[in-house]
Amino acid sequence: MKDMSMEILGIDVGGSGIKAAIVEVSTGDLVSRHRHFVTPQPATPEALIRTIGELVADFHWQGPVGCGFPAVVSHGIVRTAANIDPSWIGIDIESLLKLETGCQCHVVNDADAAGLAEVKFGSAENCSGSVLMLTLGTGIGSALFYDGELFPNLELGALPFQGSTAEGYAAASVRTAKKLSWQAWSTRLNSFFVHVERMLSPELIVIGGGVSQRHEKFFHLLDTRAPIVPARLFNLAGIVGAAHFAFEQESSAG
């Protein structure tokens, strides 16, 4: 059997912090401590690329890098900027990261990365059929899988909803900003899930993002046809999935 073991530096870029660790991609285990850097503000391309360069140097890393990024990323190019600096649109993030770090860098949407980790090593491991991963944080990230295969860049959080967008109405950040009770926030989530289930009929819904660690506060208030489970890798899913994505890209490039 082909030896699938390989270490890759996984990075998860978020609005306030950037997390990273070296991941053994055959098991999804972290083989280094995970480190946390503050996201520069404003998070312009120059500032963020420099910070990621410092992070890669801090790990003395020279191998492949996988990076989850909170936007639509298509063939290494950033296409949207709902929760990031608008100057990112059109930027070839993979080429800039390679220039800065000297490493082969592969960039993927952050929710797609988290979903990949959950499908390979977490709550949706070995699940056939359709699995929807939703990350509830500053925004709403979404990732759709069928028989373990990713349909990339699904942006359910960007759906026009209740005079705003789905994420503007129901993200976890809205609960804290508006000081909503768990019940009131869950009612918002349920109205979003009605549309999601009507469109996609997922057979399993995995909830990630920081708030998934507090699932006992609100899962019993959710009313979906599909079973809902919390992400098993919690806030490390983005790192692990980004590394796994890089592994897949490296493998398909031969």
Binds ligand BGC by CB under 6 A, chosen from 12, 94, 100, 167: 167
Exactly one of 66, 115, 157, 168 binds ligand BGC (CB under 6 A); that residue is 157
- 173 counts as binding ligand BGC under rule CB under 6 A: no
Q: How far is the CB of 218 from ligand BGC (least distance, A)?
A: 19
- How many chain residues touch ligand BGC (CB under 6 A)? 17
Among 18, 55, 71, 231, binds ligand BGC (CB under 6 A): 71
Q: How far is the CB of 46 from ligand BGC (least distance, A)?
A: 21
Nearer to ligand BGC among residue 30 and residue 82 (C-beta): 82
The residues near 119 (Cβ < 8 Å, ≥ 6 apart) are: 125, 127, 131, 133, 145, 148, 150
Dihedral sign, Cα of residue 149, residue 20, residue 88, residue 155: positive
Q: CB of 241 within 8 A of CB of 168?
A: no
82 forms part of the interface with ligand BGC (CB under 6 A)? yes
Nearest CA-CA partner of 12 in 169, 215, 173, 233: 233
- Identify the burial level of 86 via C-beta atoms within 10 angstroms of its C-beta, where 0-12 means exposed, 13-18 middle and 19 or more buried: exposed
Nearest-CA neighbor of 44 among 104, 10, 91?
91
**Interface positions with ligand BGC (CB under 6 A):** 70-72, 80, 82-83, 109-111, 135, 137, 139, 141, 155, 157-158, 167
